[in-house]
Structure 1
Amino acid sequence: MRGRDPLRAGWDLLQPRLPRLLLAGLLGVLSLCSALALAGVSAWLITRAWQMPPVLDLTVAVVAVRAFAISRGVLHYCERLVSHDTALRAAGTARSQIYRRLAHGPVDAAMRLHSGDLVARVGTDVDALADMLVRAVLPIGVAAVLSVIATVVIAVISPAAAAVLAGCLLVAGVVAPWLSSRAAAAQEGVARQHLSERDVSALLALDHAPELRIAGLLPAVIAESQRRQRAWGWAVDAAAKRAAIAAAAPTAAIGAGLLGAVVAGIGIADAVAPTTVAILMLLPLSAFEATTALPAAAIQLTRSRIAARRLVDLAPPEHPARPAPQAHPVAAVRLHADVRSGHHSDHSVQVELDLEPGDRLAITGPSGAGKTALLMTLAGLLAPLDGHVEVDGTALEVLGEHELHSTVGFFAEDAHVFGTTVRDNLLVVRGDCGDDELVGTLERVGLGLWLAGLPNGLATVLAGGAQALSAGQRRRLLLARALLSPARIVLLDEPTEHLDAGDAEDLLRALVQSPGLFSAERTVVVATHHLPDNSECRQLSLAPAAGALTGSGCRDAAAEQLIGQRGVSGQPYPQQMSS
């Protein structure tokens, strides 16, 4: 992939429909050819009318002027319809490919990025890449074809004027766009970074507003988002100022081309008809119409190249081939881990684990100790800093996707609740569950009365997703997903958070008992702040890492862990929220 133009990889992501793209180009060429013909016929009509011929001699020209004027607008409208339809379809294809690559590719490709950066890449960057078709590829192609046609037509009348026109078209269509591209290239990368960091800060404010408000940092996070928005605007303005210099070049080229046509027309005035001289002088004005969009097209190519590079970095097209899934006995899944987990080396945990089928393990420790990062590493969602994780002697990274999901399942404390029915929110983990099984599972996690009170039972739509549930109901619904999942090793992150003390202890006991909520052959690992008394399970206690939270009095540090890749103070901190 190194050395390859990112735009080629971006084109592979878009996969535009070439017939429709060629149709849009053809319509664009015909539209500008209508403008070129309109200028020529108008020049002939004006000059011929000055000679006061019989009116019937002008009838065809009058009709032609009207036809070319109408066809120019109609063809341009049709070209916009076809080109935008092609670009929108290509953007949808690109997003589908990115989602597919993220689903089937290395699992840490998305985990290493903040959700705000993911939104910026899958949203804004895909749009910038698709804009390449409408704002760069088509204008460049249409301008190239029209420039050749205009030069050939002028050459029939005056080769000298055609040579001048060709040189001016090169200045307006090649030199000016190149200057614009060079002026924008240095600025666009900075602008894109500010845009991404703005989205990170905005999503942090939206996702963690209660915690940040309690910590007193919500205004600072909002101010950070606003600062990034202003910085993004300044970077774009800086690029526009430099591009303005390049934008003057086409105007100068138009003036030079027109002046050359006038000089050439004066030189051949005695040898040709006045109507021919008028056509020679007016045609260059229409010939330059196609080149006016090329500086902006060059800037768009720069933006699309940056967007393509970020998208390929997020979802690379080539992944190491995984071997075919190996069959493991469903009741004999053993997990061995000797890893150093964490998001960076300064905040890591070294752990060695051996879990037999049916084992129960509780990982305890204060916030910031690394419990969530350890669970994600055991699930294969976060690459270990060092060491390896094996299931029945097979490394996680070489397991097939289906086998990995049916072997190890990680259930986060803040997993997404979809704005659809209760049934669909449970079927996301296993699609073959019947309604009786779904109802029984909800009753086992303590949501039986809640389900009975819903107007449509399992068919009730959770409007707004998690907003339709209390924090405790959301935890129990996510726990129901874990019970329904086919995973033989279940990793639960803070499953009893936001429950009252009594219910939390009862639920934790049921989780770590064997058998309990989970069958005896399934391995259960629970990350929690504390265990209830008389809990019969293995326990792994993680000490807080350097700089991690240890209790009260750490309000500012806690808030900084909730802010994205850079804090309000500008100091670095972990990208992912700790447990």
Structure 2
Amino acid sequence: MTRTYPRRARLAFGLATGVAAQLAAVGLLLASAWLIVRAAEQPPVLYLMVAIVSVRFFGISRSVLRYVERLATHDVALADAVERRVETYVDLDRAAPGGLGDLRRGDLVSRVVADVARLQDRLLRLRLPWWVGLAATLVVVAVVAAIDLRSGFVIAAGVLVCGTALRRVVSSVGARRSGRAEAQGRLSAEVAASAVASRELVAFGAAGQAGAKARTATDDAESAQSGGASVAGLGSAIVLTIAGATVAVLAAWSSGPDPVLIGVVLLAPIALIEPWDGWSEAERLRPEVTAAGERLAALAALPNPVSDPADPRPLPESYDLVVDAAVVGWDGPVTAPVSFKVAEGDAVAVTGPSGVGKSTLAYALLRLLPTWTGTVLLGGTPTTELAASDVRRRIGYLGQDDVVFDTSVRENLRIADPQADDDRLRDALASAGLLAAVDAMPRGLDTPVGEHGGRLSGGERQRLCLARLLLADHRVLVLDEPTEHLDAPTAEALMDDVLALAGPGGRSLVVVTHSPSVLARFDTVVALSRVDP
């Protein structure tokens, strides 16, 4: 309630000042027309003082009112955009574990961001121009009708024809030529995919094919951009044609107002070109804004992989983890029922052939995905009776290729806890076996790690991700192939530090691996198998 009322009040104030600014622009032109015609009669200068002052007033107030209108309406639009960004992030966070449909990495960054920004135009460049233009137009029609009724009807007819033509022609043509966001999304996706896989593309001689796809995407983006310009030109042509025709009809059919007012009547349609151009631009953008809203609505409608209970139970203090006859899989059951227990401080390895569902089981432990059958208990409480966010506070996950951001060691760690001081950062690095290496770097914690951690070795990169996980203070750590892509000595040293985290009063470990050397270090090994067909 406290958010809605101020928004409506600010929007109403902005709309009112927008109408006043538009009327000031119209008044400036019409008052100038009257002043020129009347001055040609060479009356005493005092007869012209009101018109002279009016021209000055309209000229100054137009700029002031336009600034105030922009201030009020953009305040509302930007506040709405912030809320929309948060809602979109929540939708992405909720739906990502289950997949985001056909969105690729570059497409996600480009199109979703562009769609959220485009929805901001729904108020500023779609609705407000129509509201302001209609209000100002009605006032102009009423003023002209008071001067000469027939002229008022002529201008009203011109307004009706212009509004209808713009709404039907520009909007429909724009819908056929829209697709700029999709084209830019495809271009970003192709460029991002080529950049990420550049080494492999060159190694296998596929760089030419990737370049051809990128060039095709570039041509599509250029075509979409030029299509938008041609629609804008069409709208301007319609506005100018109807305004000119209205002036011609006024000159031929008006019933003969006072000669001093002839300039006012004939220039009235010209004064309406500015609001009509606003309508034209609004209709050009309408297909893009509508499409952006539909795509974000489709994102919001993606199924929720897991649902929180209506009344979640409190997170238990104990962090014993029990898996009881659980069956997991994405589109259907994949694993045969599996059961095991990880007591506080214990370490358990999970293995099995490729595609058997090892990583899927890890997701189910964090309640990112549901189990098809069976139960996962945390501290004696089924995780389905806990809020998913609470489960993830207690259970942390380190994947095979966790994201390392192109920033410093410090900022990569603080993703887990933005308030962590240097002592806590160094403790986490020490537990992950990376402190000595960081201290040896030229800038220590402030050392840039490069894109995707490219300035770090494979082992250092994995240890940095582990330190970030430890900083979040999870009590149960699920590590998915932690030694993947590492040479034997580095993998062994990493596992030494990982296993040192377990023990009485320490962390519980669930390590997913197919490495025989890693499996040999665990007393408890759980072997997954496929469900019977």
Q: CA deviation at 1:137?
A: 1.8
Choose which of 170, 173, 178 in structure 1 pairs with 2:168. Answer: 178
1:37 partnered with 2:27: yes
| Runs of 5+ unmatched residues, structure 1 | 1-12, 544-579
TM-score by length of 2: 0.83
Q: Which residue of 1 aligns with 2:217?
A: 228
Q: CA deviation at 1:283?
A: 1.6
In 1, Cα distance between equivalents of 2:368 and 2:286: 35
Choose which of 60, 68, 81 in structure 1 pairs with 2:58. Answer: 68
Q: CA deviation at 1:294?
A: 0.9
In 2, Cα distance between equivalents of 1:350 and 1:25: 60
Q: Which residue of 1 aligns with 2:377?
A: 391
TM-score by length of 1: 0.77
1:164 partnered with 2:146: no
Q: What is the root-mean-square deviation of aligned Cα atoms in Å?
A: 3.7
Q: Which residue of 1 aligns with 2:503?
A: 519
In 2, Cα distance between equivalents of 1:15 and 1:243: 36
1:21 partnered with 2:5: no
Distance 1:336 1:328, change over 3 A: farther
Whether contact under 8 Å (2:235, 2:277) holds in the other structure is no
Letter in 1 for 2:387: G
Distance 1:219 1:501, change over 3 A: farther
Q: CA deviation at 1:318?
A: 11
Q: CA deviation at 1:193?
A: 3.0
In 2, Cα distance between equivalents of 1:75 and 1:305: 30
1:145 match: secondary structure: helix
Q: Counterparts of 1:85-124 in structure 2 under 5 Å?
A: 85-103=75-93, 105-106=94-95, 108=97, 113-124=103-114
1:304 partnered with 2:289: yes
1:379 partnered with 2:366: yes
In 2, Cα distance between equivalents of 1:374 and 1:198: 35
Q: Which residue of 2 aligns with 1:330?
A: 318
In 2, Cα distance between equivalents of 1:33 and 1:132: 23
Distance 1:152 1:217, change over 3 A: same
Q: CA deviation at 1:307?
A: 1.2
1:251 partnered with 2:248: no
1:350 match: secondary structure: coil
In 2, Cα distance between equivalents of 1:193 and 1:387: 40
Counting aligned pairs with the same residue, the percent is 29
Q: Counterparts of 1:53-452 in structure 2 under 5 Å?
A: 53-103=43-93, 105-106=94-95, 108=97, 113-188=103-178, 190-238=179-227, 241=230, 245=234, 248-265=237-254, 267-268=255-256, 272-315=257-300, 322=309, 323-328=311-316, 330-336=318-324, 338-342=326-330, 349-357=334-342, 358-363=346-351, 365=353, 371-382=358-369, 387=373, 390-391=376-377, 396=383, 399-418=386-405, 422-423=409-410, 425-429=412-416, 438-452=425-439
Whether contact under 8 Å (1:110, 1:118) holds in the other structure is no
Q: CA deviation at 1:143?
A: 0.5
Aligned residues: 517
| Runs of 5+ unmatched residues, structure 2 | none
In 2, Cα distance between equivalents of 1:433 and 1:464: 23
Distance 1:396 1:233, change over 3 A: farther
Instruction: Render the CA deviation track for 1:317-374: whole Å, top value 9, x for unaligned.
Output: 99866332344452422124643534x67xx9434322202351233556x7765455
Q: Which residue of 2 aligns with 1:561?
A: none
Letter in 1 for 2:348: R
1:538 partnered with 2:525: yes
Q: CA deviation at 1:379?
A: 2.9
Instruction: Render the CA deviation track for 1:475-506: whole Å, top value 9, x for unaligned.
Output: 01112233444444422123223433212134
Instruction: Render the CA deviation track for 1:521-553: whole Å, top value 9, x for unaligned.
Output: 75433334523174334153779xxxxxxxxxx
Whether contact under 8 Å (1:417, 1:425) holds in the other structure is yes
In 2, Cα distance between equivalents of 1:463 and 1:20: 45
In 2, Cα distance between equivalents of 1:239 and 1:431: 43
Whether contact under 8 Å (1:475, 1:497) holds in the other structure is no
Q: Which residue of 1 aligns with 2:477?
A: 490
Distance 1:365 1:318, change over 3 A: closer
In 2, Cα distance between equivalents of 1:383 and 1:107: 14
Q: CA deviation at 1:395?
A: 6.1
In 2, Cα distance between equivalents of 1:58 and 1:174: 39
1:334 match: secondary structure: strand
2:130 match: secondary structure: helix
Letter in 1 for 2:88: I
Q: Which has the higher contact order (CA 8 A, sep 6+)?
A: 1
2:329 match: secondary structure: strand
Whether contact under 8 Å (1:114, 1:200) holds in the other structure is yes
